[in-house]
Amino acid sequence: MRRHQSKKPMRRCVGCRQSFPQDELLRYVLTDGILNRDDINGRGYYICDNPKCQEAALKRRIANAKKYKRSY
């Protein structure tokens, strides 16, 4: 029996605040006022693939998202 079983890292969606395996969420990064969906360095946010959840995340978590340009 293995003592250390590898587990997938869990992340919390900022829209619905539910935990999911990291590979099931989309990662957004805010750099220089632009919200990128790429996997680059910076403050990252994990969001579900659900469109309602994405809108809730923009309204709730990312400060004044209207003033930021979206690259996606």
Q: What is the pLDDT of residues 16-72, one digit of tens each?
A: 889 999 999 999 887 776 777 877 777 788 888 898 888 887 776 555 444 555 555
* pLDDT at 69 (0 to 100): 56
Of 43, 49, 37, the closest CA to residue 61 belongs to 43
- Do residues 62 and 68 touch, judged by C-beta distance below 8 A? yes
Greater confidence (16 vs 4) lies with: 16
pLDDT at res. 5: 55
CA distance 6 to 33: 36
- pLDDT bin (cut points 50, 70, 90) of residue 9 is very high
What are phi and psi for residue 26, nearest 5 degrees? -95, 140
Spatial distance between the Cα atoms of 24 and 27, rounded to a whole number of angstroms: 10
